Amino acid sequence: MLDFNSHFHLSMDWDWLFEFLKGMVKPVAALTVVLLAVLLSFMQNLGLEKEMIYSIFRAFLQLSIIGFVLQFIFNQDNSGWIVLAYLFMVSVAGYTAGQRAKHVPRGKYVAGVSILAGTTLTMFVLVVLNVFPFTPRYIIPVAGMMVGNAMTVTGVTMKRLRDDIKLQMSLVETALALGATPRQATLEQVKRALVISLSPVLDNAKTVGLISLPGAMTGLIMGGALPLEAIQLQIVVMNMLIGASTVSSIMSTYLCWPAFFTKAYQLETKVFSSD
């Protein structure tokens, strides 16, 4: 009897692996189009074959790992795992956005705090309004979309703000000499950086559903949900992306100022000396 139970439990333990391998048949079949891209790259002498193969292999590995991690978290009845997963996403996003704005002092810290502030505030409002329940199945995918979007917008904002101030240093220094505060002296540069970084998010909202169906909506429809239900969720997603991105990008401009100016309200020239 003990041998039978042991064999049964061992069989159950490996069932998930068999199901996973069975489900990977279609993704592997989809590699055909990647091989076509590799072939075209070779024929055109683009030299992108290795990068294509590396990129798709890395994507496959990362998604497989995160799939197992999410499966584990979803089976746990502990909100601590939600917070841990969320902080991990914010940390990676902050590092990535900081890399984009590499000439901004403490750029990774600025980006991480900005993304954390924007996404946390947005998530808090959604949970309080009962738009989403505070469970891993809802919060982690939603947080991932917000963090990813805020990462892109924040990185562009920080880089653009620093570059614009560098190009117009004489104007900023003149304004400071006339008694303007750092915020007043760089108001136009801040506005320009925010408009440029947020425009793609707003343009996407304007054309959503007209040019292409967004990922969340497509996933729901392919999963069997009614189109009207998928649309309702997509509207929520668009709203939260705009909210989180706006808060994060504006926060990053405030956090950048201390690094751009001295305590005497003068430009920190060493920040703008490198290309």
Where exactly are the structural domains of the chain?
A: 9-75, 79-271
- Closest of 135, 111, 112 to residue 123, by C-alpha: 135
Please give the Cα distance from 86 to 164 (Å, whole number).
32
Q: Tell me, what's the pLDDT at 160? A: 92
Q: What is the pLDDT of residue 54?
A: 92
Q: Does position 56 have pLDDT exceeding 60, yes or no?
A: yes
pLDDT value for 5:
52
Q: pLDDT digits over 230-240, tens only?
A: 888 888 888 99
What are the angstrom distances between the C-alpha of 250 and each of 124, 166, 259?
A: 18, 19, 16
Q: 171 pLDDT exceeds 70?
A: yes
Distances (CA, A) of 66 to 116, 135, 260: 21, 17, 38
pLDDT at 6 over 70: no
